[in-house]
Structure 1
Amino acid sequence: MDLTTKEHVDRLPIIISGIGGAQLLAVAKLGSGTGESMAAAVVSALETWGVADQVVGMSFDTTASNTGRRNGACVLIEQKMGKDLLHFACRHHILELVVHAVFVRVLGCSSSPEHLLFKRFQTSWESIDREDFGTGIMVEEVATVLEDVKDEALRWTLQVLQEREDLRDDYRELVKLVIIFLGGAPPGGIRFLAPGAMHQARWMSKVLYSFKIWMFRGQFRLTKKEERGLQRLCLFVVRVYAKAWIEASFSVQAPRLDLELIKALGTYDKIDPEIGDVALSKLSSHLWYVSEELVGLSFFDSDVSCETKNAMVTALRREEFDGEDTAPKRVTLPKKSVRDLHLEDFVSGRTLHFFRKLHLDEAFLDLPPDSWQMDEGFQRSSQIVRNLAVVNDHAERGVALIQEFNGSLTKDEEQLQFLLQVVADHRKAFPDPRKRTLAHTRPQ
């Protein structure tokens, strides 16, 4: 909202990130939601802070206003800055598009922000006995589909809850629901949280609703189509989607994880051909991280074998690289079967763009891959790439910040920007109210 006229305006959080963490630059007021307006705001903020020369890439949602070839904000930012940047499309946004496509296929589309099925369940929540629920493995058909992944899925989900203290509350809830669906119990016991807010653009809440509705279907009236659709969606999340979502923020693993997801969707026809087809089709149009540039992340992935890394180096040097040729920002899925795809298939001489835009050491590429971890140049480069932002969660926090403080303490736009800086800095220093956090001395 405009602070003086009370008119609704678009706001754009502009944040830089790197080894030192993330820094809010501005939550800019836009004249319109066009790519030109967003690009101008971004470049202005970068120049005001004097950091434009240090920017080597962009993280963004894959909306048309951002990614349009002529008038998208990304290409216009590059034009205004006079340089080609790495494109780190938000991996969470890509996965939201995938689950949206699956949801629409199995349950149909809702034109209202609050899906009527979910709204009905939210209204009925207080009358539902939280002790009376049914897990997935209690249904023979579901248990059969999950038989080959159940033990590994339980091991992984319990490990996530133990090791990922940084996990957002809704992501943590997803992991716990997967455990319960599989017949397990999360640390602290089984507890179902009340259904939260819904929004057409936020698909995590719909996934959480789907698990709860299906597991409480004995107390909540569903049509056969709804029950079947929810079951299919839950199976997809347990077998494929939950792991992809939770690991989406891991930068150096991104190409390998995307390739693994492509292969999992390519073979999902054995489980549910319709879901496998629609999910693979959607993901295939958003393959940013196996592009010739960003596949370079995999050189720093410790879970990629030495054999594969040798093949990647060979592919890197198979053709001459003059440093001028521009690589496509995303790729089209090759025609050959996804089962036959390997990381080295996406590497070319143009992968060197990735190294040079980030000013990474290239000398380690002359060494055997099993010795890279001991090389100082590799270690320095690895630190850089592991701090790259491949999800847009920082921007989401910026949106939440402006929604909370817009017009609450000041009606002056300049003072609002100062206020947002102070609050963001304080939250960075004290991210939660736990005693051990508050006891720490504020970093200088």
Structure 2
Amino acid sequence: MSKSLQAIRGMNDILPEQTPLWRYFESTVARLLDNYGYKQIRMPIVEFTELFKRSIGEVTDIVEKEMYTFEDRNGDSLTLRPEGTAACVRAVLEHGLTGGGQPQKLWYIGPMFRHERPQKGRYRQFHQIGLEVFNLDGPDIDAELIVLTWRLWGMLGIRDAVKLELNSLGTSESRGRYRVALVEYLSAHLDKLDEDSQRRLKTNPLRVLDTKNADTQAVLVDAPKMADYLDDESRTHFEGLKARLDAVGIPYVINPKLVRGLDYYSKTVFEWVTDKLGAQGTVCAGGRYDGLVEQMGGKPTTGVGFAMGIERLILLLETLEQVPEEISRQVDVYLCAFGEAAELAALTLSEKVRDQLPNLRLQINAGAGSFKSQFKKADKSGALYALILGDDELAQQVIGFKPLRGQGEQQNIAFDALAAHLATCVVQG
């Protein structure tokens, strides 16, 4: 017997009962970003592998172990995008969107791919919403990114479950000086470091700072601190960011071990974390990458952005029971029609109602059926009301109106009064 077909491990179907919550989340974010003046950009999910090697860094875990890379029929090495910033920078450069120092405030949404060990809140195909801002170099835009996420958490009802962590990585020069000091310190305690940290010490020593190994964490207690190596420009920038967050009342903690996993970050880095999802606690993260555009072949262009994980935020909404009740209902009204003449009239009437009430979710029964079977489907649909149209109603040019979820008797509504009645019962309440 042949093996049954199924999804690839870590790449999940989003089923019909789940998509209303996804659509609610995505539309909430899109509306917020419209209000802040961000424009959507859509990039391919496949890019040349060199793009990610050049931007992310060849000695990062993503490039070394996690990318889905393959050769196409032309012999080109292609990669399913593991993150969105590099692809967005490529698009900005290719189409000259930042020419002449023009600021750009962009956002995107879509799947990313990393070959990680699947676990709760972490998948091999996962979805992100990302924001990228170019040619604005002050702490004001860094603050705006954080402020708008704070507003989003309020709109979603999850502010009390997330915490903001901040750090500054300084410029590449100051980070280089810190790297030398950190390597010197850690090399003197090499025997106390875990195996992964010993490997990172040779390739990407700043990543040792976010180790989860308890013995290595103990060593890091007395390690040099990045704050002591910041240049004046980075320190002034960081103080400006904190002043703005203080002004609008957003609480935060300074995490000197926060370094992010990608090579291109500089100055501001931040994460929104939660303790409600177990080990996978980061739901949104980002920072400034002022040297990335130039590193990828463009003119010097400042950049800052973040990405939020949709799966983790969906999971957080469910965990905190912050799923709006109305989004689980996909049908407002279910129309039952009995007999061919009634079915034809129901189709005509329903389209007239949709013309007048474009936001009404009206479903007509399909496949005929008895009175009992149609009512069973009406109830299963989750609709608030059932409409009933048979030969008797058709002769009188009325339609039966029956509440399915509460008090109220069935009544007959004239065809020409139906839309107004539904507007009162459903659309407005």
Tell me which interval the TM-score lies in, with the shorter structure as reference length.
under 0.3
Higher relative contact order (CA 8 A, sep 6+): 1
Task: Answer with 1 or 2: which has the greater Rg.
Answer: 2
Q: TM-score, normalised by structure 1?
A: 0.23
Q: TM-score, normalised by structure 2?
A: 0.24
Which one has the bigger strand percentage?
A: 2
Which one has the bigger helix percentage?
A: 1
